[in-house]
């Protein structure tokens, strides 16, 4: 029994010594990161857009409501984020083409835009962002206008050279003599540099 106890004590001492060797020490610096999180990005996107313009008012003796004309479009476009400073704020320039259905009677709209994008949680795999900016609206029939854009999004695989961007953008403005409201849902690759 004495030998079994000594063997057990020896095995416990070897295990404890091995665990102490493997434990991280707080006074050593963190290992260097060989891939710094990128600050600039290019997003290529495709998605759907819901558009709406008010066409008038419908009233009965008790209540008035706005009648609107709504349609959907396919959006193709992209954005370029150029980091300002340490990368929390980026200057964003982009352009999207909103393709209305052929023979629907609704115009296709080209929308270049510029604004600021605020990126949060830099250095993580999932990076949220918030954007605000201005856009110009050029309709197929020759009408033009401007809009205010605000939206948010996520980039999945933000630490990799290529990530996946998901965006939701709300856009309100005026084109020709009509108010125009848009909701854009966009997805596509994001290239980091």
Selected residue with higher pLDDT from 22 and 192: 192
Classify residue 66: in a domain, yes or no: yes
Structural domain including 134 reads 41-192
Q: What CATH number has the domain bearing residue 65?
A: 2.40.160.20
If pLDDT is split at 50, 70 and 90, which confidence band does 93 have? very high
| pLDDT, tens only, 139-176 | 988 889 999 999 999 999 988 899 999 999 999 999 88
The DSSP secondary structure of the chain, one letter per residue, reads -HHHHHHHHHHHHHHHHHHHHHS--TTSPPPPPSSPPP--EEEEEEEEEEEEEEEEEEE-SS-EEEEEEEEEEEEEEEEEEEEETTTTEEEEEEEEEEEEPTTSSPPPEEEEEEEEEEE-STTSSEEEEEEEEEEEEEETTS-EEEEEEEEEEEEETTTSSEEEEEEEEEEEEEETTEEEEEEEEEEEEEEE-
Classify residue 120: in a domain, yes or no: yes
Classify residue 21: in a domain, yes or no: no
Classify residue 132: in a domain, yes or no: yes
- Mean pLDDT: which of 8-17, 80-89, 152-161 is highest? 152-161
Classify residue 45: in a domain, yes or no: yes
Structural domain count, the chain:
1
Q: What is the pTM of this model?
A: 0.72
Classify residue 3: in a domain, yes or no: no
Classify residue 57: in a domain, yes or no: yes
């Amino acid at each position: 029994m004495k030998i079994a106890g000594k063997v057990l004590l020896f095995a416990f001492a070897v295990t404890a010594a091995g665990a102490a060797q493997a434990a991280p020490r707080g006074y050593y610096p963190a290992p260097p990161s060989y891939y710094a999180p990128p600050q600039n990005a290019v997003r290529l996107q495709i998605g759907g857009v819901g558009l709406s313009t008010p066409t008038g008012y419908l009233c009965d003796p008790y209540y008035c409501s706005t009648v609107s004309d709504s349609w959907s479009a396919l959006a193709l476009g992209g954005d370029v984020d150029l980091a300002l400073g340490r990368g929390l704020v980026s200057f964003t320039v982009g352009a999207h083409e909103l393709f209305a259905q052929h023979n629907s009677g609704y115009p296709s709209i080209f929308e270049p835009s510029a604004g600021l994008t605020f990126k949060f949680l830099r250095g993580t795999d999932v990076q949220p962002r918030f954007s605000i900016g201005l856009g110009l609206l050029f309709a197929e029939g020759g009408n033009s206008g401007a809009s205010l854009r605000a939206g948010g999004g996520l980039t999945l695989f933000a630490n990799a050279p290529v990530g996946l961007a998901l965006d939701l953008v709300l856009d309100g403005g005026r084109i020709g003599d009509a108010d125009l409201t848009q909701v854009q849902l966009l997805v596509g690759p994001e290239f980091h540099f």
